[in-house]
Amino acid sequence: MRIFAWAVAGLLLLSSHASADIRITEVASWGSSNGTYGVDWFELTNFGASSIDITGWKMDDNSNSLANSVPFGPQVTTIGAGESVVFLETSSASYATRVANFNNAWFGTPTSSLKIGSYTGSGVGLGTGGDAVNIFDSIGNLITRVDFGTATTNVTFDNSIGLNNTVITALSAIGVNGAFQSFDGREIGSPGAVPEPSALGLLAVAGVVAGGLRRKRS
């Protein structure tokens, strides 16, 4: 009964008590073989109720190491509450062209409302035979990570539920979790599609409940 009460309280006070919670919600480790934009990419979603500053954040692949991580580009500095942002593996010099080509492939126009960031550096290409994505904040804390196995070409890994520190295996399917067939007809995924409110709410409430239980037992 007490757990239920905590859950209800979390739902009622979500906007004021839930903090920013960044998760990796989609991965395209085969993106570099796409003939239009030619880069791997992943998506981050803020499951929390407040915007978070990602200035100075970094990513790494399956070396799982801050020492081997590479920085995000300067194009995106914040991820708003409930917002999903795609990050392309590209240099700043190629960023504008890559973004235009990405938008053309997925949406049929060189511009879209989707916020797109970047990352670049040696040794972080996402492998189609299996790999990982690790995200570190500006002081080196590991914020979120996922592993994934062999890719299905042109179909993204779907982690809309926001699983963390685990192996993701679900593939995007048209009409599920906002997934669609790309404008060019080659790919299936959901870049920029925000997860269902129920998924956002359940994860946030779980955090509130867990926090309440920890305080109760301390």
pLDDT in tens, 171-199: 999 999 999 999 999 999 999 998 876 55
Mean pLDDT for 47-52 is 95
Q: Determine the distance from the C-alpha atom of residue 131 to the mean position of all C-alpha atoms in its chain, rounded to a whole number.
A: 15
pLDDT digits (tens, 9 = 90+) for 78-135: 999 999 999 999 999 999 999 999 999 999 999 999 999 999 999 999 999 999 999 9
Kindly state whether residue 207 falls inside one of the protein's structural domains: no
Mean pLDDT of 131-152: 98
Lowest mean pLDDT among 14-28, 37-51, 130-144: 14-28
**What is the tens place of the pLDDT at every residue in 196-205?**
765 555 554 4
pLDDT given for residue 20 in this prediction: 65
Q: Which of 126, 125, 118, 140 lies closest to 57 in space, CA to CA?
A: 140
Report if residue 137 sits inside a domain.
Answer: yes
Residue 208 lies in a domain: no
Flag whether pLDDT at 26 surpasses 70.
yes
Is the pLDDT at 211 greater than 50, yes or no?
A: no
Is residue 206, in this structure, part of any structural domain at all?
no
Instruction: Look at residue 203 and tell me if it is in a domain.
Output: no
Assess whether pLDDT exceeds 60 at residue 5: no
How deeply is 15 buried, as exposed, middle or buried, from its count of CB atoms within 10 A (0-12, 13-18, 19+)?
A: exposed
Top pLDDT among 206 and 176 is at: 176
Determine contact, residues 85/79, Cβ cutoff 8 Å.
yes
Is 159 within 8 Å of 172 (Cβ atoms)?
A: no
Residue 138 lies in a domain: yes
Angle in degrees, CA 199, 186, 153, rounded to 5: 70
Q: What is the CATH number of the domain that holds 162?
A: 2.60.40
Check residue 89 and give its pLDDT. Answer: 98
Q: Total domain count for the chain?
A: 1
Evaluate whether residue 168 is within a structural domain.
Answer: yes
Average pLDDT, rounded, for the chain: 86
pTM for the model: 0.84
- Binned at pLDDT 50, 70 and 90, residue 12 comes out as very low
The one-letter amino acid code at 112 reads S
Its domain, for residue 142, covers: 20-195
